Amino acid sequence: MDFFRICIIFLLGGLGGFVLEFFFRRFVSFKRWVKPGFLVGPFIPLYAFGLSVFYILCRYSPLSSLGLDEYVEKLLVTLIVGVMATVLEFIAGLFFVKVFHLRLWDYSHRRGNIMGIICPAFSLIWIGIAAIYVFFLHDAFSSFVDILLFYDGTNYGEGLIGSLFALGIIMGILLIDVCYSFSVASRLKKMASRIALNFDTLKTMGTEAKRKASEAFAFTFPFATRNADSFKSASARFVEESEVLALKLSAKKAEIAQVRKMKKEERLASSFKK
């Protein structure tokens, strides 16, 4: 049953991470409502894997056999979990930048960042979240999972089959979402070429275009024809903005290529002089 426990923790982590990021972007980073995450649904895989790592390291602590003081053991587990979370963040960010040329988050403006994917400030945040989980939330999550699996401490109840059936349906929907989102990322990759697009910027543009279109289509009767034209106009503006973005990306790519060419020629010239 440990596999199903981890699956539930995985789902709770992805959903909880989505809620956390949603309000963080509204009140801290973007100052507006911007849907976080790469998937269509309310789920962020990075947090799902992160919480799963938290749960596994706390439930099967590699330090439990050392006979350490409980507080010291939890403190060490917190540090290990925080480091693991940073490693997961780096792997996920690097994967999307290298494979899909998409930058799901950008720490380039923060001090000490590595490739704009991780930075000391957010690594400390991960350690803080890990400390909260290890010291205060692990037991609560374990108890909640037991309730969902109808486990009373010794036996599983009759509702276990229904719970596992619901878990299977949710995981299936998540798998479909992942496949669809990766297909969208593949299409964006063709536009991005070698330049890493800021995924949040793209979503912000799309949200703004949808808002303008909704305002244009606010009254359907008796002005349906007029508003339909307004809706088409808003859609055309969105397409035009997308084309402008693509042109800017192409220009940026050409500029980078030109700079590289000039540097290469300078190196060749300097080598001939020597």
Asked if residues 80 and 64 have their Cβ atoms less than 8 Å apart, the reply is no
235's CB contacts (< 8 A; 6+ apart) are 209, 213
What's the pLDDT band for 190 if we cut at 50, 70, 90? Answer: low
Q: What are phi and psi of 112, to 5 degrees?
A: 75, 15
Domain residue spans of the chain: 2-191, 217-273
User: What is the pLDDT of the chain when averaged over all its residues?
Assistant: 79
Q: Is the pLDDT of residue 221 over 50?
A: no
- Summarize pLDDT for 101-112 with one digit per residue, the tens: 778 788 888 889
Higher-confidence position of 245 and 16: 16
Asked if residues 216 and 233 have their Cβ atoms less than 8 Å apart, the reply is yes
Q: Is the pLDDT of residue 237 over 90?
A: no
- Alpha-carbon separation of residue 23 from 20, 28, 43, 153 (angstroms): 6, 8, 14, 36
- Alpha-carbon separation of residue 45 from 202, 224, 271 (angstroms): 20, 42, 49
| Amino acid symbol at 172 | G
Q: What percent of the chain has pLDDT over 90?
A: 26
- Summarize pLDDT for 223-236 with one digit per residue, the tens: 444 445 555 565 56
- The arithmetic mean of pLDDT across residues 22-32, rounded, is 81
- Summarize pLDDT for 251-273 with one digit per residue, the tens: 666 677 676 777 777 776 666 65
Higher-confidence position of 92 and 190: 92
User: CA-CA distance, 69 to 153, in Å (whole number)?
Assistant: 26
Identify the pLDDT of residue 230: 56
Identify the pLDDT of residue 223: 44
Strand partners, 197: 102
Identify the pLDDT of residue 232: 58
- Alpha-carbon separation of residue 141 from 19, 68, 78, 117 (angstroms): 17, 24, 16, 29
